[in-house]
Amino acid sequence: MKVIIEQLPVDKTKNFGTLEYVLDKYSRTWSWKVTGSRAVTMVSRLIPQSWYGEGPNEAIIPDNFQNVQQIQWILERYPMEILSKSVWRRKIIKSTSKKIKPKKIEKLSKASPGKQFKGKLLNFQKEGLDFLLKSSGNALLADEMGLGKTVQTLAYISTEKQSSPTLVIAPLVTLRNWQREIGKFMMKKSRNGRLMEQSVPSSTLIRKGKSQDIGKFDFYIINYELLEKRLVDLSKLNIRTIVCDEVQNLRSKSTKKYAAVKKLTALKSVKYRIGLSGTPIYNRGSEIWPIVDILRPGLLGSFKEFCEYFCYVNDKGKAIVLENKRESLRKELCSHVMLRRKKSDVLKELKDKVRYKEFIDSDSTYYNNELDKIWKKLEVEQKEAETAFDKSASFHRAIQSERQAAGVAKLPHVINFVKNIMEIDESVVVFCHHRAIHDLLHNSLSEFNPSSIIGGQSDNKRQLHIDMFQEGKTKLMIAGLRAGNLGINLTRAKYVIFAELDWSPAIHRQAEDRLHRIGQKNTVFAYYLIGNGTLDDHVAKILVDKSYEIDSIMDETAESFENKEKAELILAQIHDKLHSTQKINSG
């Protein structure tokens, strides 16, 4: 889809660069040369096949029908002086004689993977492979967590011609898992195309930020945080395929990692761009635009056009997808770039997932005293703040402090809740947010010899704790919400307990789906523990509110946690709660 919205106001009297038809000395083909910093910036964003010319303010664009359309789109918004007028007129007449439409994904069939793939695909995974093939490897695979997106991607790389070398960009905690899966599901292919059944594709984990020669491998595996530092080295590798695992990491177009991926996907050598995520939208529907613009540039128009057509701006200045536009956005994504399957659709044998919002007691005296300290500190910091950034940082610290205070206030009752389930001899996973809460839980539940996943662990130690739990050497796992929500399989358990709440529904779902995935033979019970007298309930309502927007874009129907209620701003609630407590005490 090309979203046609009222054009942005531009100064028609000003030229932003030049456009010329030239014989490119590197590719030795007739191409379009664009000069001018602003025009070149637009070209680099919208035309992945372009590359830099003699300098940063010059871009070379291969001459083809689609690129002429994109250049025309840029010209309408950023006028350029056309130096090859007769050629341009001839080309634009040809391009406007037929209307270009984004390629629509055809009906899917069960594709067979190439011989390099040594695994076995389920029927729905064969359809996933067919989707990637019919999308020409430029797509978002958004299956729910636990449906084997990694396996489907490796099957595609094994099947697609000239897909190597491949760059895998993923969260740090999943890098070794990617390396293991490559060895498990793929055979080595020699330079002459012969399969070597006893060998696996060569791969390297890029773990250092210092620039140096990387060498030649079939797979390069790197985390998002190192991309910018190694951009120059990666650009020299003649990469053919880029896989962005947990692509929601690119949901903000203002980050350095987004800019680095944008540059890498625009390299001339790159033919295939695959995004993987069961939760590509974390908080707001507008987060889908940067992701799609990496995989299929221009499909949703510019960000301004996307927002004007699909969104409204809330009181915090955030773009929220309009309720009456969510269905049309979902259809647009599914028609052209995204495949989304839920476990309930494709794994009929997989048991249900049941959520409970469980209210438990908390230490209200401790909690209210902590709130009083937090509010007084916040007032001082707000008065002393010299910039808007200082004020914002102060608010964030107050919110995080309240969350930790709520966690400590309800901790004794969380521990009792966990012990009650442990008494019926079941395996349990407990998720928490703060390291202090993690340590307190670990110490208080030491009688169960719990496994532990928390940020900062080495890969080997993390895997050792996962194996202990999965092999039944311990029945309790305590995991950090953002450390244990990716790249692990915890199907031995059927009970998951959230001792603390995160702000993002996607974080909770990822954590739930460490249990609720292929291999799970039981119904999964997820308990959200809400501390009475704390602001947990308001946080839960915010999670519900966000969930409705996300579900209506990603899926046809919203997945309900509880009845939908409008949540109030947490800082206003802190102030209101303190005010009420002070009135009671003074009365």
Q: Which of the four pLDDT bands, split at 50, 70 and 90, describes residue 69?
A: confident
How far is 516 from 469, CA to CA, in rounded Å? 16
pLDDT tens digits, 345-355: 777 655 666 77
Please say if the pLDDT value at position 384 is more than 80.
Answer: yes
Please say if the pLDDT value at position 477 is more than 70.
Answer: yes
Query: Where do the domains of the chain lie?
Result: 18-96, 123-346, 353-586
Tokens of 419: 């012990």
Q: Which of the four pLDDT bands, split at 50, 70 and 90, describes residue 487?
A: low
Q: How many CA atoms lie within 13 A of 398 on its CB side?
A: 25
Please say if the pLDDT value at position 374 is more than 80.
Answer: yes
**Pick among 1.10.10.10, 2.60.120.40, 3.40.190.10, 3.40.50.300: CATH of 353-586:** 3.40.50.300
Output the CA–CA distances (angstroms, integers) from residue 93 to 20, 65, 239, 448, in the order listed: 17, 11, 35, 75
Quote the mean pLDDT of the chain.
79
- Residues 82 and 332 sit within 8 Å (Cβ to Cβ): no
pLDDT at 520: 66
Pick the most confident of 167-171, 473-477, 575-579.
167-171
pLDDT tens digits, 545-577: 555 555 555 555 544 433 233 223 334 444 444
Tokens of 258: 């987004």
How far is 220 from 118, CA to CA, in rounded Å? 20
Please say if the pLDDT value at position 362 is more than 70.
Answer: yes
Sign of dihedral through CA atoms 31, 32, 35, 36? negative
Phi-psi region of 456 (alpha: psi -120 to 50; beta: other; left: phi over 0): left
Q: E strands, 421-512, where?
A: 428-432, 451-453, 476-480, 495-498
Q: Which of the four pLDDT bands, split at 50, 70 and 90, describes residue 13?
A: low
Mean pLDDT of 60-88: 84
Which run of H or of E encompasses 360? strand 353-360
Please say if the pLDDT value at position 449 is more than 80.
Answer: yes
pLDDT tens digits, 196-206: 888 889 999 99
The structural architecture, per CATH, of the domain 123-346 is 3-Layer(aba) Sandwich (3.40)
How far is 450 from 445, CA to CA, in rounded Å? 7
Mean pLDDT of 49-54: 78
Same fold yes or no, 123-346 and 353-586 = yes
Helix segments in 83-163, DSSP class H: 85-96, 123-134, 149-159
